[in-house]
Amino acid sequence: MGGPSTIPEVHDFLSRLFHDHDLIPLPFQSVLAPVIAKRRTPQIEKQYTDIGGGSPILKWTKLQGEEMCKLLDELNPETAPHKPYVAFRYAKPLTEDCLEEMKADGVTRAIAFTQYPQYSCSTTGSSLNELYRLAKKDGYGDKGSIQWSVLDRWPTNEGLVEAFAHNVKTALQQYPEERRKDVVIMFSAHSLPLEIVNRGDPYTAEVAATVHAVMSKLNFSNPYRLTWQSKVGPKAWQGPQTASAIEGFAKIGKKDICLVPIAFTSDHIETLYELDIEVQEEAEKLGIHLTRASSLNDSPIFIRAIADLVSNHLRDFEAGKIGPTGQQLLLRCPGCKNPKCGKTKEWLATGGLGDAVAAQS
């Protein structure tokens, strides 16, 4: 999604977010979105002020990409040099900014590599829809000007799981040894409106797969639960909400909890404000010893993981072992109501050749 790097960027970020029907379906969206964005701006500006004056997500995403590409140049010299480009959905650099930079550099081969490990139509799907829209609109990126392939999900990637498990083990060391095995590991992921979940979106299942893989890596050393955060608006969202789950555990006497942000690859407002300030304050009132596993940020385990993931993808693609997309990306949700999804998936399946394939056939 990205995040505003400075306070003046907050309103535009919120406006883009609330205008995106893929993420937050609203009735009369074009009318309501500006109103909601304007109303929420002062509150969200204060939150970003409280975490240092802006989101660090661009800093971390750039660092991860640059370090990944250094490793890729060693792992895959035949496709070197490799360069990372950042395309955020709601904050600068936007997808159009990314494509402009790629065009200036003369890029003709690219991997659309989602930094959401677990796929949702509302997140990765929305970003891919935007990529398709802009490529069709401007021409660059379409009809073979770029050969695309896609890494659209990686919820149980071995390196990702190892990076999460390492950070959980480190966080658990903050508890006395005699209490450590009883600490509740609470995995927290960004929630989704139930209307998106119920149409067959795979996100909740893939988040659960990541959680199970991490606990397997930890030999199921502790009790654990998966909870959900960042609900917006009055509609029903996937639950239980992280804050209410902590309150529930307090009532049954579970006073040692380790929070693990399991669907984010770096720190941003959902970790630094929502978890570290809001949830932490509530936990203290309830007498809970709440810790949080560090986000992946500059974790060398994580950076090696994404380098290996892209390295294997490049080799398999060049060898003809895989196509531009995986089979799972091509399957639309059984309750899908968005015609954009089908067109985007068809285009990506051709590697961005689109109409050029039809013209040649």
Please state whether the peptide bond connecting residue 93 to the residue before it is cis, i.e. omega within 30 degrees of 0: yes
C-alpha 310/C-alpha 68 separation (Å) is 9
Active site residue 130: no
Active-site entry in 48, 90, 116, 119: 90
C-alpha 199/C-alpha 277 separation (Å) is 34
* Residue 278 DSSP class: I
Contact 161, 125 (CB under 8 A): no
Active-site entry in 218, 267, 296, 348: 267
Active site residue 89: yes
Active-site entry in 23, 94, 172, 272: 23
What residues have CB less than 8 Å from 242, skipping those under 6 apart? 186, 188, 227, 228, 229, 259, 275, 279
Active-site entry in 9, 14, 16, 17: 17
Name the strand (E) or helix (H) holding 248.
Answer: helix 242-251
Active-site entry in 48, 172, 270, 275: 270
Return the residue matching tokens 């939150």.
Answer: 47
Q: Which residues pair with 227 in a beta bridge?
A: 188
Active site residue 332: no
Active-site entry in 19, 89, 153, 166: 89
Active-site entry in 274, 290, 292, 296: 274
Active site residue 162: no
Q: How far from 280 is each of 30, 193, 276, 326, CA to CA, in Å?
A: 36, 25, 5, 40
- Find the Cα–Cα–Cα–Cα dihedral 135, 111, 154, 173, rounded to 10°: -110
Q: How far from 44 is each of 19, 66, 112, 269, 295, CA to CA, in Å?
A: 17, 30, 30, 9, 21
Active site residue 190: yes
C-alpha 23/C-alpha 120 separation (Å) is 9
Active-site entry in 166, 190, 292, 313: 190
Return the residue matching tokens 């971390």.
Answer: 60
Q: 3-state SS of the chain: helix, strand, coil percent to 5? A: 50, 10, 35
Give which of 5, 50, 60, 91 is closest to 276, Cα–Cα: 50
Beta carbons within 10 angstroms of residue 300's beta carbon: 11
Here the tokens at position 38 are: 């304007």
Active site residue 267: yes
What residues have CB less than 8 Å from 361, skipping those under 6 apart? none
By annotation, the residues acting in catalysis are 1, 17, 23, 89-90, 190, 267, 270, 274
